[in-house]
Structure 1
Amino acid sequence: MEYCVLGKNIDKSYGAKKVLDHVDIHVPMNSIYGLIGPNGAGKSTLLKCIMNLIRFEDGNIQVLDNSAGMGKYELNRTGSLIEYPCFYDDLTGKENLLLHSRYMGYYDKKRIDEVLHEVDLTRADQKKVKNYSMGMRQRLAIARAILIKPELLILDEPINALDPEGIKKMRELFIKLNEKQGTTIIISSHILSEMDYLASDIGIMNNGKIIKEKPLEEIHKENKDKIVARVDDISKASILLEERGIQDFKIMDDGQIHIFDLTYDTSCYAELFVQNQLKLYQIDVVKKTLEEYFFEVVGGN
């Protein structure tokens, strides 16, 4: 497999505190790689190391086929948003983007109008950034990150401060960049439901380590859907299932039965329980979420 970013044994400490502990990361070319984990897991530090914003003590990071990591040539092919975005507050959004395009050597004024439209800031392009809301600043930062049509896009919590409509629009924008332009995107987030919508590959980070990497499609295949039922007599329901030859189920502490055998649909199970004088309060097919998988991997509740 070809990788856009490949990191091996990355170590980073601040004083006595080890923030990155022999981290390996494999970001497939043309993927949307969701780097997920709790606050303090080391996500932002790892992204800074990839961007060569901070030095790491040990290990190696290959970026865009350069085994030496992020250099000037790679920077000119990379867009990024890491932590709080900074701008010239007394300039307009459009003026800030014009300055950035000059700095990057990317002289396409039409592109500035395009990205402002893509992040829904066209009507505010002449407004000074000091008068922007937090959500508007975040969208301007995303516009700046995608301005040069990067091959690699690195985004650290990009949907912070966005409302639900803004989150949806940015999700659609990232998917379009990935599918239409072939942009490889690394997105760090602790909002797991959003990564479930967006990512093609997942890296789970905890306590300074990436403890699991997998395509999201594989995660969904391995983590089967289940039927969740709630009845008035759990013991009797268990006996009925066993008599029917169904062994793959689990009794939960909250009084639910989780049935993983999907040979029969919900109507068959409902009929089994009701015909045997059980009161059926709930029965649904529930898809296993990325959030559930995450807590299984990190061992949380």
Structure 2
Amino acid sequence: MKLIANNIHKKIKGKTILNDISLEMETGNIYGFWGRNGSGKTMLFRALSGLMKIDSGNIYWNDKELHKDFAVLPSQGIVLEHAGLYPNKTGVENLLYLAQLKGVIGKREVEEAIRRVGLDPADKRVFGKYSMGMKQRLVIAQAIMEKPDVIMLDEPTNGLDEAGIKEIRQLIEQEKERGALILLASHNQEDMKILADQVYKIADGRIERKGTEL
């Protein structure tokens, strides 16, 4: 299965934030997007997922076009900071609420995802009381819990200690082995070196270089 972008452009308030980006990515691979903060990584993920409409160009998933055949990618998990999580709910409550929106999985799968990221499903602390590292783990659990075809991770190791970074990198590798297409945005060069099969360097909303190394 492939995710393809052809010459996509996007402006916000007259400023170009995505500039003539073309990509072709297949499942079973990790694609790294490396660049400084503000380079366009997050906006690219928002466009590819369907969360933001582009001004021109086309995005295809398995020969079907985004915003024509479907509004958002039909099988995706995405990490964009802590969006959509409620500070007054526990980890399980948060993910169960999100799971019920699609009705694909239930409590067992939610608890399994929480364990996979190193959290305890029985923890009664609410999300607002989590440490930064715990919050990061929970949003990653949200992204993988439905075993989606496409996983987009924006700075997935932010806020994690050395042990946590190692655990999440192993989890990302496991999702690749499962056959997911993984997009990984980071300014951490080590994440790119260890995880990415192909790396795109992005700056000012444009792909400057691609290859197997930075």
Q: TM-score, normalised by structure 1?
A: 0.67
> Number of aligned pairs?
213
Query: CA-to-partner distance for each residue in 1:244-299, whole Å, 9 max, x for gaps?
Result: xxxxxxxxxxxxxxxxxxxxxxxxxxxxxxxxxxxxxxxxxxxxxx3xxxxxxxxx
**Amino acid of the structure 2 residue aligned with 1:207:** D
> Which of 87, 90, 94 lines up with 2:88 in the alignment?
90
**Kindly tell me: are residues 80 and 64 of structure 1, through their superposed partners in 2, closer, same or farther at Cα, counting changes over 3 Å?**
farther
Aligned to 1:47: 45
Asked if 1:201 is matched to 2:198, the reply is yes
State the secondary structure of the residue aligned to 1:44: helix
Once the two structures are TM-superposed, the CA of residue 25 in structure 1 deviates from its matched residue by 1.7
Q: Is the 8 A contact 1:64 1:74 kept in 2?
A: no
Aligned to 2:36: 38
The percentage of counterpart residues that share the same residue type is 34
Aligned to 1:167: 165
Q: Is the 8 A contact 2:96 2:107 kept in 1?
A: yes
**Kindly tell me: are residues 85 and 168 of structure 1, through their superposed partners in 2, closer, same or farther at Cα, counting changes over 3 Å?**
farther
Aligned to 1:190: 187
Q: Is the 8 A contact 1:35 1:204 kept in 2?
A: yes
Aligned to 1:13: 11
Note the residue ranges of structure 2 that are not aligned, 5 or more in a row: none
Q: Is the 8 A contact 1:5 1:62 kept in 2?
A: yes
**Kindly tell me: are residues 15 and 142 of structure 1, through their superposed partners in 2, closer, same or farther at Cα, counting changes over 3 Å?**
same
Distance in structure 1 (CA, Å) of the matches to 2:62 and 2:82: 25
State the secondary structure of the residue aligned to 1:117: helix
Higher relative contact order (CA 8 A, sep 6+): 2
**Kindly tell me: are residues 72 and 57 of structure 1, through their superposed partners in 2, closer, same or farther at Cα, counting changes over 3 Å?**
closer
Q: Is the 8 A contact 1:85 1:138 kept in 2?
A: no
Q: Is the 8 A contact 2:66 2:73 kept in 1?
A: no
State the secondary structure of the residue aligned to 1:176: helix
**Kindly tell me: are residues 26 and 212 of structure 1, through their superposed partners in 2, closer, same or farther at Cα, counting changes over 3 Å?**
farther
CA RMSD of aligned residues (A): 1.8
Distance in structure 2 (CA, Å) of the matches to 1:170 and 1:158: 8
Mapping 1:242-281, distance limit 5 Å: none
Distance in structure 1 (CA, Å) of the matches to 2:164 and 2:150: 22
Aligned to 2:70: 71
Once the two structures are TM-superposed, the CA of residue 213 in structure 1 deviates from its matched residue by 2.3
> Which of 171, 174, 183 lines up with 1:176 in the alignment?
174
Once the two structures are TM-superposed, the CA of residue 68 in structure 1 deviates from its matched residue by 3.3
Q: Is the 8 A contact 2:27 2:149 kept in 1?
A: no
**Amino acid of the structure 1 residue aligned with 2:185:** S
Distance in structure 1 (CA, Å) of the matches to 2:145 and 2:139: 10
Greater share of residues in helix? 1
Once the two structures are TM-superposed, the CA of residue 126 in structure 1 deviates from its matched residue by 2.1
Once the two structures are TM-superposed, the CA of residue 73 in structure 1 deviates from its matched residue by 7.6
Note the residue ranges of structure 1 that are not aligned, 5 or more in a row: 220-289, 291-301
> Which of 177, 197, 213 lines up with 2:210 in the alignment?
213
Higher CA-based Rg: 1
Distance in structure 2 (CA, Å) of the matches to 1:137 and 1:176: 21
**Amino acid of the structure 2 residue aligned with 1:33:** Y
Q: Is the 8 A contact 2:176 2:182 kept in 1?
A: yes
Q: Is the 8 A contact 2:18 2:40 kept in 1?
A: yes
Once the two structures are TM-superposed, the CA of residue 123 in structure 1 deviates from its matched residue by 6.1
